[in-house]
Amino acid sequence: MFVLTIVFLFVMFILFKLMLIVPMREVHVIERLGKFRTVLEPGFHFLVPFVDRVAYRHDTREEVLDVPPQSCISKDNTQLEVDGLVYLKVMDGKLASYGIENYRRAAVNLAQTTMRSEIGKLTLSQTFSERDSLNESIVREIDKASDPWGIKVLRYEIKNISPSMKVIHTLEKQMEAERRKRAEITLANAEKAAMINMSQGERQEAINLSEGQKQKRINEALGTGQEISIIANAKAEGMEMICKALTVNGGNDAMNMLLKEQFIGQVGKILSEAQVSVVPAEMAKLEGFFEGMEQVTHAVSNSSAKGAR
């Protein structure tokens, strides 16, 4: 009974070594007597017991490897701490097994060295603004170097770019100074625009005032001219009517009477308004005065008659 049990167990062990099931997500590298024989794809396979063995198992799905933070120096001599992620996939199980000892560790180290090299070509500001191009450059360099390893580097993503505290403090001061500069420029532009608007307003106000003064003077001059013209015409018409009246019979006597009345009225007005009584010396000879006025009137009427002829 014991012998049968031993034989059964031995047969089961042989069958277990004979059959191999490869999962869908893996490939198995088979060695025969220590030498590479084949790469088994997912499915059911038979092996030669004690001769064939599964030397390596590789996952064919896309893998994500974390690249630890490392110190890098940018083109402008700024120290940075950079970490990232590498996405890769096994394309050839044989090369992944025999091309390199550990392709995962090699890919991470290669990503670190390539990242240091690429960041050294960029300034601090470019590392933030050109992150996509930096990722593409790192992927291109890693994929070229890892081709003999049987893996394909699909992409690389930078997670964090952390400058040192001293650099961060300097950048904060620079940004604060830049903000103050922009604020001062904005205020200066506003003051400039305000001064320009005020000067333009004052200029327009002065122009409007001068135009108003000009028009006022023009209107006053026109009014004064019309007034002078009207007064001159009225005086001319009055003189003409007086001349015609003098040529009529009795005109001279009427003119004498009118002049005497005006003279007496004016003298009385002067005597009533003056604080000091002043009596002209000729007042005693009013008769001689009136006779002189009569002679003047005759002379005026004679000259008017000659002009009318």
Give pLDDT tens digits for 27-36.
Answer: 999 888 888 8
Give pLDDT tens digits for 8-67.
Answer: 676 676 766 678 888 888 899 988 888 888 888 888 888 888 788 888 899 888 899 998
pLDDT bucket at 87, cuts 50 / 70 / 90: very high
Query: pTM to 2 decimals?
Result: 0.52
pLDDT bucket at 117, cuts 50 / 70 / 90: confident
Give pLDDT tens digits for 164-211.
Answer: 777 777 777 888 888 889 989 999 999 899 899 988 988 888 888 888
Higher-confidence residue: 105 or 175?
Answer: 105
Closest residue by Cα to residue 299 from 262, 255, 258: 255
- The residue type at 69: P
What gap in Å lies between CA 108 and CA 63, rounded to an integer? 12
Residues contacting residue 237 through CB under 8 Å, at least 6 positions apart: none
What integer is the mean pLDDT of 99-127? 86
Give pLDDT tens digits for 250-291.
Answer: 666 666 776 777 777 776 677 676 665 555 545 545 555 555
Domain segments of the chain: what residues?
17-58, 61-163
Helices (H), the chain: 2-18, 93-98, 103-119, 124-129, 131-145, 165-247, 251-273, 286-308
What gap in Å lies between CA 127 and CA 115, rounded to an integer? 11
Return the structure tokens found at 277: 């009584």
* Residue-wise DSSP of 12-54: HHHHHHHEEEE-TTEEEEEEETTEEEEEEPSEEEE--TTTEEE
pLDDT at 214 over 50: yes
- The pLDDT value given to residue 284: 45
pLDDT at 99 over 70: yes
- The pLDDT value given to residue 248: 66
Whether residue 96 contacts residue 58, with contact meaning beta carbons closer than 8 Å, is answered with yes
Q: Which CATH class is domain 61-163?
A: alpha beta
